[in-house]
Amino acid sequence: MSKKYFGTDGIRGTVGEYPITPEFVMKLGWAAGKVLGKKPQDRIVIGKDTRISGYMFESALEAGIAAAGMNVQLLGPMPTPGIAYLTRTFRAAAGIVISASHNSFYDNGIKFFSADGTKLDDSVEYEIEAYLDKEMTTVSSEHIGKAKRVSTAAGRYIEFCKATIPATYSLDGLKIVVDCANGAAYSVGPKVFRELGADVQPVFNNPDGLNINEGCGATDVRALAKIVKGNKADLGIALDGDADRLIMVDHNGEVVDGDELLYIIAKGAQNAGRLEGGVVGTLMSNLGLEKALNGHGIDFVRANVGDRYVMELLKKHQWNFGGESSGHLICLDKNTTGDAIIAALQVLVVMATENKTLAELKQGMSKYPQTMINVKVSKRQDPMLNETVVAAVKEAEAELKDTGRVLLRASGTEPLIRVMIEGENGAQVEKLTAQLANVVRETL
């Protein structure tokens, strides 16, 4: 049974368009309070990024949760992984994040963490959706919830991040540019690295409610790359709007993406003797990551695209490290969800331990040329159910042999088929991708 409102990462959309409206969000808060509250006066923590609509939805959630009889603790602007951490440390019944992550300011969304700081189970989301179809009621006046702001939230999370690396380790001597994406980590991000001793230059750290992710952050590192080179910094750190994604830039201004960062973290853990098991990537992870890890005897498995599915496989295999090319990196031995600041710290520890630059560390992995074409189709459908398409895929795979791979994936949000091929020969990859895309276009 498909969900009516929840996607793979909460509920997200354009502000003012259903369901991202104050009325719906208030009722969502009420429904969450009814489902997640285990005893009277339980509490839910709420954090947000820097979008102007966050104030409106914070108030709406507060009203709905209070009407359900639960208390609210307001964290203010806070990275998504920080909200997961504070949900656990405050022993809250749940955590709520008001954010549309890497999207532009005119979008927003609501996502939830359970009491243990992980994404909600499907069964809980179904239960919340069932309450959304009921009439909203208010508990008796003596049981209405209260709300208060938590002034110590940022400091607590900063100390938590710092504690994920050895106490003897310092960033002294490192010159770092931190791109805060004008988002949730605009304050805490630079402070973490500065308090550990680095010479930090924060950029895009002046949010105005409208400039989140605008020409900056993990989705657009062009400006960061120029600043790193121009200032002769050792590296650049790019966070996205809610600071759960990380992309880095080396001293040459070259991008180090999520696949390369995941390789560096996992290989560093292996060298330090603390790698437990293997690594989880996704269907979109570069083949070069898989080959590099396997070459060092590290197992690698692929999950469906989305951190929820990466997390599922990490728990299944009882492994610690997983992530996506986009920079959503999970270090389960440090936090219960993807955390850009913590992932960056793990990379910096490897640099110090092995006395290598970021540029040198990424040389251990060679990325395969990859081409993707999005083909518009008449309706959302599984392309691998069509015999003509399947035959074309097999033909491309036969030409690649064991030097590449083919992936056809239906978009989860649009009527698009993503045709992706990667392999050792870039020209061959481009040719085969164009040919297969034409077959999909003509057939579907």
pLDDT digits 0-9 by tens, 401-424: 989 999 999 886 678 999 999 999
pLDDT band per the 50, 70, 90 thresholds, residue 74: very high
Sole residue written with tokens 């392999």: 423
DSSP, residue by residue, 264-278: HHHHHHHHTT---S-
Domain count, the chain: 3
pLDDT at 413: 67
pLDDT band per the 50, 70, 90 thresholds, residue 379: confident
pLDDT band per the 50, 70, 90 thresholds, residue 39: confident
Mean pLDDT (whole number) for 75-100? 97
Query: pLDDT tens digit string along 322-334?
Result: 999 999 999 999 9
Instruction: List the alpha helices (DSSP H) in 103-162.
Output: 122-132, 153-162
Catalytic residue among 53, 99, 101, 325: 101
Mean pLDDT (whole number) for 102-119? 96
Domain that includes residue 161, residue range: 157-364
Rounded distance between C-alpha atoms, residue 276 and residue 118, angstroms = 21
pLDDT at 65: 97
Q: Are 207 and 353 contained in the same domain?
A: yes
pLDDT at 306: 87
Q: Report whether pLDDT(426) > 80.
A: yes
Q: Are 360 and 374 contained in the same domain?
A: no
- SS3 state at 413: coil
Q: Are 291 and 219 contained in the same domain?
A: yes
Q: Are 112 and 227 contained in the same domain?
A: no
Rounded distance between C-alpha atoms, residue 326 and residue 324, angstroms = 5
Assigned domain for 2 exists: no
Q: Report whether pLDDT(40) > 90.
A: no
In the chain, pLDDT over 70 holds for what percent of residues? Answer: 99
101 catalytic per annotation: yes
Q: Are 101 and 245 contained in the same domain?
A: no
Q: Are 152 and 78 in contact (CB under 8 A)?
A: no
Lowest mean pLDDT among 2-11, 86-95, 142-151: 2-11
pLDDT at 41: 67
